[in-house]
């Protein structure tokens, strides 16, 4: 296992994961070292995220959301993958990681080099029309919003001075004068291609994630409190199939009772250690 000091819990995790092909589930905790705050981490401030029902049901809520997002999305676009993201990409290259299911929308796994990534809750760089289904890039919408709201970003201060949330949102109080852009194709309501609180994950996306967990030999959870069912379901799936579950997270998670091993530590250092200590995956020879 090399010269790295191995804690008892990390050693237990290695014993469970060694020689297995892993499905990985990641949450906001893996991106905190890249400067994107966690909604539910031990040190996270209280937040009251906008729900899907509020967004679709009230133009004032939509205006407030898009005003804040117009500032915040730039911050996410400038963030870089951290050691945890890069570690998972290396483990995939070694055949250890079969694929990543992420609850994040920041695309940092792809930026780090991971190839098989299921963006469970969507991705921040796309926008969808709720009426006609048209999809456009977030950068394209930014140009339209800038033209409709010249000087708005400058009027609320530098992005670095504004609290940023994991969905590319930003906390701004004065948004009543912000002008929202509608779909250029049909005039319908535009929404980030992100699953809001109170909104269901698309069934096709869930099916792909379920298949990934089914194909793997163990499940590794990194940086998720598993508070919402969209992530917890995969822990329950693996446990029901008698597949080992290793959870790496600072703080309690809803999946802890089902975990084979819980590593109470940061994701960057733990995942980086796994890249040094886990050998490349070598499938057992077939008996046929």
List the domain range (segments joined by +) for residue 152: 49-78+123-194
Question: How many structural domains is the chain composed of?
Answer: 2
**Which CATH number do you get for residue 216?**
3.40.50.1220
Q: Mean pLDDT for the chain? A: 90
- Work out the average pLDDT over 255-262: 98
Q: How many CB atoms lie within 10 A of CB 70?
A: 25
Domain membership flag for residue 288: no
Asked whether residue 169 falls in the same domain as residue 275, the answer is no
Domain membership flag for residue 57: yes
Asked whether residue 159 falls in the same domain as residue 228, the answer is no
87 vs 114, 270, 275, CA distance in Å?
Answer: 10, 9, 6
Strands 190-194 and 135-137 turn out to be unpaired
Domain membership flag for residue 41: no
- 70 an active-site residue? no
- Work out the average pLDDT over 92-118: 97
DSSP E strands, 39-172: 97-102, 117-119, 122-129, 135-137
pLDDT more than 90, % of the chain: 74
Residue owning tokens 């200590």: 277
Last residue of a domain, one of 194, 222, 241: 194
Domain membership flag for residue 139: yes
List 64, 98, 121, 177, catalytic entry: 121
Is a pLDDT exceeding 80 seen at residue 78? yes
Last residue of a domain, one of 142, 164, 194: 194
Asked whether residue 59 falls in the same domain as residue 102, the answer is no
Last residue of a domain, one of 194, 227, 245: 194
Instruction: Report the predicted TM-score, pTM, of the whole model to 2 decimal places.
Output: 0.90
Is a pLDDT exceeding 70 seen at residue 158? no
pLDDT band at 10 (very low <50, low <70, confident <90, very high): very high
pLDDT band at 288 (very low <50, low <70, confident <90, very high): very low
- Work out the average pLDDT over 86-100: 98
**Which CATH number do you get for residue 162?**
3.30.1600
Asked whether residue 101 falls in the same domain as residue 14, the answer is yes
Asked whether residue 269 falls in the same domain as residue 247, the answer is yes
- Work out the average pLDDT over 270-279: 95
CB 246 within 8 A of CB 118: no
């Amino acid at each position: 296992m090399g010269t790295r000091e191995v804690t008892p819990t990390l050693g237990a995790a290695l014993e469970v994961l060694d020689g297995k092909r892993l499905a990985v589930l990641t949450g906001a905790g893996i991106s905190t070292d890249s400067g994107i705050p966690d909604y539910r981490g031990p040190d996270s401030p209280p937040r009251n995220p906008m729900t899907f029902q509020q967004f679709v049901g009230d133009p004032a809520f939509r205006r407030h959301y898009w005003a804040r997002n117009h500032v915040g999305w730039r911050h996410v676009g400038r963030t870089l993958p951290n050691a945890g993201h890069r570690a998972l990409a290396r483990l995939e290259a070694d055949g250890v990681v079969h694929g990543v299911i992420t609850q994040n929308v920041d695309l940092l796994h792809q930026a780090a080099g991971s190839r098989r990534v299921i963006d469970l809750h969507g991705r921040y760089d796309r926008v969808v029309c709720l009426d006609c289904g048209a999809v456009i890039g977030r950068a394209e919408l930014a140009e339209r919003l800038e033209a409709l709201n010249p000087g708005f970003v400058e009027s609320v201060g530098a992005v670095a001075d504004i609290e940023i949330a994991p969905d590319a949102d930003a906390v701004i109080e004065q948004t009543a004068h912000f002008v929202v852009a509608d779909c250029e194709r049909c005039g319908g309501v535009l929404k980030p291609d992100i699953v809001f609180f109170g909104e269901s994950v698309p069934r096709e996306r869930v099916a792909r994630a379920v298949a990934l967990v089914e194909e793997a030999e163990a499940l590794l959870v990194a940086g998720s409190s598993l508070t919402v069912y969209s992530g917890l379901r995969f822990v329950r799936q693996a446990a029901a199939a008698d597949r080992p579950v290793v959870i790496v997270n600072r703080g309690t998670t809803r999946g802890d009772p089902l975990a084979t091993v819980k590593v109470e530590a940061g994701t960057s250092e733990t995942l980086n250690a796994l890249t040094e200590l886990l050998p490349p995956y070598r499938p057992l020879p077939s008996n046929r």
